[in-house]
Amino acid sequence: DTGVSQNPRHKITKRGQNVTFRCDPISEHNRLYWYRQTLGQGPEFLTYFQNEAQLEKSRLLSDRFSAERPKGSFSTLEIQRTEQGDSAMYLCASSSTGRGGDTQYFGPGTRLTVL
């Protein structure tokens, strides 16, 4: 069990550029979540996958945001035409099904800074 990994750990970009983050969940975890955390706040839910199906999207996820999990393993989160308000820590979590399946394990996050 190597834990949830996220890449890159830090990303600095200019306003208007596109960025993509990657999340590798704990192996055999078929549920994957994305959250966003701004300074001094708790994480806020963005979207959720069960296997490759995206089952829920928060209204926080504007049309500039898109997430995929093409083979039910790793996931990517893309932000198009970044804005300064997108600056935050983007967290990925995963969980299994079955007993204890509501327990989510978080990765280290990707910190995005939009200049």
Partner 1 sequence: GENVEQHPSTLSVQEGDSAVIKCTYSDSASNYFPWYKQELGKGPQLIIDIRSNVGEKKDQRIAVTLNKTAKHFSLHITETQPEDSAVYFCAASRGGSGGSNYKLTFGKGTLLTVNP
Choose which of 11, 31, 36, 69 interacts with partner 1 (CB under 8 A).
31
Residue 52 binds partner 1, judged by CB under 8 A: no
| Site track for partner 1 across 56-85, x = CB under 8 A | x-----------------------------
| 3-class DSSP string for the chain | CCCCEEECCEEEECCCCCEEEEEECCCCCCEEEEEEECCCCCCEEEEEEECCEEEEECCCCCCCEEEECCCCCCEEEEECCCCHHHCEEEEEEEECCCCCCCCCEECCCEEEEEC
Closer residue to partner 1 (CB): 3 or 16: 3
98 contacts partner 1 (rule: CB under 8 A) = no
**108 belongs to the binding site for partner 1 (CB under 8 A):** yes
